[in-house]
Amino acid sequence: MAATSLRSRQWWDNPANPDMTALYLERYLNFGLTRAELQSDRPVIGIAQTGNDLVPCNRHHVELAERVRDGIRDAGGIPLEFPVHPLQETGKRPTAALDRNLAYLGLVEVLYGYPLDGVVLTTGCDKTTAACLMAAATVGIPAIVLSGGPMLNGYVDGRRAGSGLIIWQSRRLLAAGKIDYAEFMNRVACSAPSIGHCNTMGTALTMNSIAEALGMSLPGCAAIPAPYRERGQIAYDTGRRAVELVRADVTPAAIMTREAFENAMVVTAAIAGSTNCPIHLIAIARHTGVELTNDDWEAVAGDVPILANCAPAGEYLGEDFHRAGGVPAVMHALADAGRLHTDAMTVNGRTIGDNVRDARSADPDVIAEYDKSFAPRGGFLVLHGNLFRSGMMKMSVVTEELRSRYLTAPAVTWRAVVFDGPEDYHRRIDDPALQIDENCVLVIRNTGPIGYPGSAEVVNMQPPTALILRGVEAIPTLGDGRQSGTADAPSILNASPEAAVGGNLAILRTGDRITLDIPAHRIDVELSDDEIAARWREHTPPELDNQTPWQELFRAHTGQMDTGSCLDFAVGYQDVVHTKGMPRDSH
Ligand code: FES
Ligand code: MG
């Protein structure tokens, strides 16, 4: 490629504008870079750094970036590392979901406004992967994903203890008095034995598997545990490859095609992935300019069997998944069964089909061949009805018992017990007056993107203590929030529109009858349209208090989960380095 086409030269080596060149150039010399480097036609590669002390899941990217730099240098590029707004799923109040679009906006502005020819996107914790890919699509410079990898396997009493899942399981033991607080905390600590992101097939490992399935990372990248030797090695290879992507001018839009998104949905189902992923993948697609809907998840991937035996749906954790072959082994099995677009191009310059041709599973207990799957239907059931336009249920975690109750019966009807958010749930769940039993559905509302704000992972509510003591570990739940990808609850969630913006969950009352009809893909409250309209006339919407300026901006512009919870004004910008040209000079 002609050197003059490097974007960074418009800053540092522009013969048509020598005084601006001088102004742009001089400050980048002050920490030791030389004119010879910066004016030598070498691609400048950004390292979008998502790791820091506030994001422990990604913190080791600070060290991995050294290997990325080595790779960039060895391939003839110049690395420039910069921070991404912190996005940590469990530490950020009120939600990390509130900040995904903020990190996205910030990254777009950095990638577009600084002298960068390409970028290595460091990913890991749930929304870091989403925000990075959304931004890369909007900007359109060559980009490659380096995931940080899962933590090592955790163990409690000699048995695998996975991130998140151990909390959901142990809080039932705590409620039943079988363990005390100290033991509860010890079990949780044991599930986090090393650097890295969640080791279950939660949202983090699913999103990084999605990045690989899309073709945006090197093969095998997603599952390598964070402390492993191969993690540093793939960091080096990713840095090298970033330079080559710039030289070949391979943009995100050339990789993230409709076919690539279909591959990602099929892989998500095969690994029994997180219910947060439809939201993020739809957002990435919209910023790329590819149309993708909630219904596509079922149409394309609803019937894909489960090929990865990973918690929370299965037994194993990230380390086992990597040793069995990781995403390439899953894609090998899917390709053999004709379930993938094998000619989709990837960032290593080869097709998915070429990349996974020899990647047979090394352990059939962890990753199965297509005809020896662990269970049918790893995908999501997409539901519609008079409570919301679109919601989802994660079929991979529906137990055999629930499966026979839900799937074989034409319909099942529950009595609703309604909570206005998690505080109300915690206050009243053990109130005997609610008369909660196995025939109830626990409903939570005002927990969506606008109501919460950001949308909270609170739909996987546990039953009242009295029921747990009777041995009832789960009852159906429904809500306009989300749940952790590490949870094993068959909740009906991501309900769109949410109560706060006119969804009918707002007018639901405790005692209402709700019918789930899985063959019809419907869930409805037994109320006539007239009754619903009458309740709306009496309805007083909850007051939405904005605690920060960003909350106000987010609430004014963020869409519902079934369309990716994107900023409405942002989806009109795609591939801006090509569609909008260069930003103006700064002086
Ligand atoms: Fe960050 Fe799970 S909380 S990866
Ligand atoms: Mg989570």
Q: Does 197 sit in the ligand 1 pocket, CB within 6 Å?
A: yes
Catalogue the E-assigned strands of 440-491.
440-444, 477-479
Give the pLDDT score at 404: 73
Ligand 1 touching residue 89 (CB < 6 A): yes
**Distances in whole angstroms, Cα of residue 445 to Cα of each of 3, 190, 474, 508:** 56, 33, 19, 9
Please report the pLDDT score of residue 8 as a whole number: 97
CA distance 170 to 460: 14
Bridge partners of residue 443, in order along the sequence: 418, 478
Please state, in angstroms and rounded to a whole number, the distance separating the CA atoms of residues 566 and 286: 8
pLDDT at 230: 98
Residues 275 and 395: their CA atoms lie apart, in Å, by 10
User: Quick count: other Cβ atoms within 10 Å of Cβ 532?
Assistant: 15
Instruction: Give the Å distance between the CA of 58 and the centre of ligand 1.
Output: 9
Q: Decide whether any atom of ligand 1 lies within 6 Å of the 226 Cβ.
A: no
Per-residue pLDDT for the chain (587 aa), expressed as one digit of tens each? 344 489 999 999 999 999 999 999 999 999 999 999 999 999 999 999 999 999 999 999 999 999 999 999 999 999 999 999 999 999 999 999 999 999 999 999 999 999 999 999 999 999 999 999 999 999 999 999 999 999 999 999 999 999 999 998 898 899 889 999 999 999 999 999 999 999 999 999 999 999 999 999 999 999 999 999 999 999 999 999 999 999 999 999 999 999 999 999 999 999 999 999 999 999 999 999 999 999 999 999 999 999 999 999 999 999 999 999 999 999 999 999 999 999 999 999 999 999 999 999 999 999 999 999 999 888 899 999 999 999 999 888 887 777 777 777 778 999 999 999 999 999 999 999 999 999 999 999 999 999 999 999 999 999 999 999 998 888 999 999 999 988 888 899 999 999 999 999 999 999 999 999 988 999 999 999 999 999 999 999 999 999 999 999 999 999 999 999 999 999 999 999 999 999 999 99
CB 117 within 8 A of CB 109: no
- Closest ligand to C-alpha of residue 95 is 2
Residue 228: partners with Cβ closer than 8 Å, 6 or more residues away: 149, 322
Q: How far is the CA of 321 from the centre of ligand 2 (A)?
A: 20
Q: Which ligand is nearest to the CA of 57?
A: 1
Name the residue of 50, 126, 166 whose CB sits within 8 Å of the most ligand 1 atoms, as the mutation to test its pocket. 126
371: left (phi over 0), alpha (psi -120 to 50) or beta: alpha
Rounded-to-integer distance, Cα 230 and Cα 319, Å = 12
Beta-carbon count within 10 A of 541 CB: 12
| Ligand 1 atom with least separation from CA of 486 | 2
- pLDDT score at 3: 41
Residue 528 tokens, joined: 């006539």
Alpha helices, DSSP H, located in 303-410: 318-323, 326-336, 352-356, 400-403
Q: DSSP character for 350?
A: S
Which ligand is nearest the CA of 482, by number?
A: 2
Atom 2 of ligand 1, residue of closest alpha carbon: 198
CB-based contacts of 281: which residues, under 8 Å, 6+ apart?
Answer: 210, 261, 264, 265, 268, 292, 564
Measured in angstroms, how far is the CA atom of residue 518 from the centroid of ligand 2?
Answer: 26
Ligand 1 in contact with 202 (CB < 6 A)?
Answer: yes
Atom of ligand 1 nearest to the CA of 163: 2
Q: What is the chain's alpha carbon radius of gyration, rounded to the nearest angstrom? A: 24
Q: Is any ligand 1 atom within 6 A of the Cβ of residue 165?
A: no
Other C-beta atoms lying within 10 Å of the C-beta of residue 452: 25
Cα 135 from chain centre: 14
Q: Ligand 1 pocket test: which of 53, 55, 90 has the largest number of ligand atoms within 8 Å of its C-beta?
A: 90
DSSP structure string for 150-171:
BPPPPEETTEE--TTHHHHHHH
> Look-up: residue for tokens 């793939």?
234
Q: For residue 134, report the phi and psi dihedrals to the nearest 5 degrees.
A: -60, -45
Task: Give CA–CA dist 263/323, Å, rounded.
Answer: 22
* Alpha carbon of 368 to ligand 2 centroid (Å): 26
127 C-alpha to ligand 1 centroid (Å): 9
Ligand 1 neighbour 204 (Cβ under 6 A): yes
Residue nearest to atom 1 of ligand 1 (CA): 125
Does residue 512's CB lie within 6 angstroms of at least one atom of ligand 1?
no
Q: Beta partners for 145?
A: 121, 217
Nearest protein Cα to ligand 1, atom 3: 89
Expressed in angstroms and rounded, the spacing between residue 283 Cα and the centre of ligand 1 is 20
Q: Which residues pair with 150 in a beta bridge?
A: 197
Quickly list H helices, 215-362: 229-248, 252-255, 258-270, 277-288, 294-301, 318-323, 326-336, 352-356
CB 47: neighbour CB atoms within 10 A?
Answer: 27
**How far is it, in rounded angstroms, from Cα 301 to Cα 430?**
39
* Helical spans, DSSP H, in 451-548: 465-469, 529-538
Q: Give yes or no for a contact between 283 and 570, defined as CB atoms under 8 angstroms apart.
A: no
* DSSP letter string, 203-218: HHHHHHHHHHHHT-B-
The answer to whether the CB of 166 falls within 8 A of the CB of 154 is: yes
Ligand 1 center from residue 317 Cα (angstroms): 14
Q: Which atom of ligand 1 is nearest to the CA of 55?
A: 1
Backbone angle region of 569, left / alpha / beta, with phi > 0 → left and psi within -120 to 50 → alpha: alpha
CA of 346 from ligand 2 middle (Å) equals 28
**Which atom, in ligand 1's list, is nearest to the CA of 485?**
2
Cβ count near 146 (within 10 Å)? 33
Q: Decide: 193 and 151 in contact? Cβ < 8 Å.
A: yes
For 466, the token pair is 């009295």
**Ligand 1 center to 495 CA (angstroms):** 23
Shortest-distance ligand to the CA of residue 484: 2
